[in-house]
Amino acid sequence: MEQVVERELVTVTGERVRVPHPDRLVHLQFRRFAGCPICNVHLRSVVRRHEEITAAGIVEVVFFHSPAAELRDHDLPFAVVADPGKRYYREFGVESSRRALLHPRTWGAILRGSGLTLLGAFRPPATRQEGGRLGLPADFLIDPSGRILAAKRGEHAYDQWSVDELLSHARAGTSR
């Protein structure tokens, strides 16, 4: 997929967000499920630098394959879209893998995220995940014309762009 079809997404809070955005870059993130310890660790870094991301002209849109009701209480400063049927995951080629949690890079994130959940920093996940627990992350940076400037489909559960990588892709994409 080189081009994203224009659409309006409804967030878990009922807000509408356009993809592509008419005059900003859009960073689509595909995460796993609400309360995922690995996702929580990653999203914490995005939340910490959200102002910097916004100042770089980027709109964050994060997909989870959880129902909206499970996502509403997670206090995130950007658009969160529930996709429990994985419609958008399929459209963007975001997959699951039995090996998602076996890579050593995931283990530290699992421990940090689980520890922070036990300390009350994050809401725990539901015991049953309809979309499964073996999802892989993905990142897409989309320009206002709908062109995908950069993409990453993770090979394990903690394989996504860092904020620095996102900002680097944005600088490269806007300087073309």
Residue 2 belongs to some domain of the structure: no
Cα–Cα dist 32/52, whole Å: 24
Residue 1 belongs to some domain of the structure: no
65 neighbors 83 (Cβ within 8 angstroms): yes
Comparing 29-33, 82-86, 120-124, 156-160, which segment has the lowest mean pLDDT? 120-124
Per cent of the chain over pLDDT 70 is 80
Confidence (pLDDT) at 35:
76
**When comparing pLDDT for 45 and 33, which is higher?**
45
CATH of the domain at 157: 3.40.30.10
Residue 148 belongs to some domain of the structure: yes
Residue 71 belongs to some domain of the structure: yes
Confidence of residue 125 (pLDDT cuts 50, 70, 90): low
Q: Which domain holds residue 101?
A: 7-174
Q: What is the mean pLDDT of residues 125-144?
A: 77
Cα–Cα dist 147/142, whole Å: 6
Q: What is the mean pLDDT of residues 55-82?
A: 92
Residue 151 belongs to some domain of the structure: yes
Residue 21 belongs to some domain of the structure: yes
150 neighbors 1 (Cβ within 8 angstroms): no
Is the bond leading into 67 cis (omega within 30 degrees of zero)? no
Q: Could you tell me the two tokens for 5?
A: 């079809």
pTM: predicted TM-score of the whole model, two decimal places: 0.85
33 neighbors 133 (Cβ within 8 angstroms): yes
Residue 33 belongs to some domain of the structure: yes
Number of domains making up the chain: 1
Q: What is the mean pLDDT of residues 125-154?
A: 84
Residue 113 predicted with pLDDT over 80 = no
Residue 163 predicted with pLDDT over 80 = yes
Residue 110 belongs to some domain of the structure: yes
Question: In whole numbers, what is the pLDDT of the chain averaged over residues?
Answer: 85
Confidence (pLDDT) at 129:
58
**When comparing pLDDT for 57 and 111, which is higher?**
57
73-109 pLDDT, tens digit each: 778 899 999 999 999 999 999 987 777 666 677 766 6
